[in-house]
Amino acid sequence: MTLQQIQEATEYLQQQTHNYAPDFGIILGTGLGSLANDIEVAYTVPYEAIPHFPVSTVEFHKGKLIFGTLSGKRVVCMQGRFHYYEGYTMQQVTFPVRVMKLLGIHTLFVSNAAGGMNPAYEVSDLMIINDHISFFLPHNPLTGPNLDTLGDRFPDMCDPYDLKLVEKALDIAQQRGMKAYAGVYASVPGPQLETRAEYRLLRQVGADAVGMSTVPEVIVARQMNLTCFGLSVITDMGIPETLEKADIQKIIAAAMKAEPGMTTIIKDLLSTL
Ligand code: HPA
């Protein structure tokens, strides 16, 4: 990934959208794509048309960039994200975040489906991410020559998720009478789910939920000084003692059930910004 490739993708999108300059980027996770239906769409660009953009392979990801307004704010929304387990490099996974930054966003919203390990959680609960642990190690999107014009070689990670936004989101959930927790997200490469011993390990090191995305995008976003807000939908429970066989259809159904609540939080939050 070179600066020139990022610039070429950005310039193509600027041409296609007549320089539509979004303020907010949104990345929608598995089973969570329908927030895009609430966007007042100005332009839609399929991933395969964008120079150097990876093309999404997972069937239930639609693979397009949507430009428009949500809660009156100018957004660019990725409907469908790139997962490391699909075989993309970390640079490919995070390429769209680089492009969204050059398009002008200052804040990134990220959603995902995750397994809950905090015993207080239940399937279809929402967890606002307040910190993360990367188990993608040693794979990292910042490995290699640094693109100095985009960000620091050694970016700080003391507050990857904006804690004011976390508080605001929890307030919104409370006002709306919705259940939402704040917690720590652990990212793993996947695509297999965790063993009982792995869920136990992740819980013991302080993670409340586990999933296969988000952290690469947030690392790159923070390197470029974007404000980040992350939200997990708990789609299954990873409690070693009561673990059941994973059912991907059930996971997607749980995500879809929680989706209206997630959409409400993101829209309400956007309207305050
Ligand atoms: N583990 C990892 N990724 C996930 C899970 C899980 O239990 N649920 C949804 N994505």
pLDDT tens column, 172-194 = 999 999 999 999 999 999 999 99
Cα separation values, 100 from 15, 166, 261, Å: 14, 22, 25
pLDDT band at 100 (very low <50, low <70, confident <90, very high): very high
What is the CA(106)–ligand 1 centre distance, in A? 29
- Alpha-carbon distance 69 to 123, whole Å? 31
Res. 60: pLDDT tops 50: no
208 contacts: CB under 8 Å, gap ≥ 6: 116, 117, 118, 121, 127, 181, 183, 184, 185
Residue 58 has pLDDT above 60, yes or no: no
Domain holding 226, by residue range, is 3-271
Whether residue 11 is predicted with pLDDT greater than 70 in this model: the reply is yes
Ligand 1, residues 83, 187, 194: which to mutate, most atoms within 8 A of Cβ? 194
Q: pTM to 2 decimals?
A: 0.95
pLDDT tens figures, 107-166? 999 999 999 999 999 999 999 999 999 998 888 999 999 988 899 999 999 999 999 999
Q: Alpha-carbon distance 91 to 102, whole Å?
A: 16
CA of 66 to the centre of ligand 1 (A): 26
What is the three-class DSSP state of 260? Answer: helix
Residues 238-258 have a mean pLDDT of 91
Q: Closest Cα to residue 233, out of 161, 185, 196, 166?
A: 185
Q: 236 CB under 6 A from ligand 1?
A: yes
Domain count, the chain: 1
Q: Which of 82, 77, 96 is nearest to 37 (CA)?
A: 77
Phi, psi of 196 (to 5 degrees): -55, -45
Determine the distance from the C-alpha atom of residue 188 to the mean position of all C-alpha atoms in its chain, rounded to a whole number. Answer: 14
CATH number of the domain that 155 lies in? 3.40.50.1580
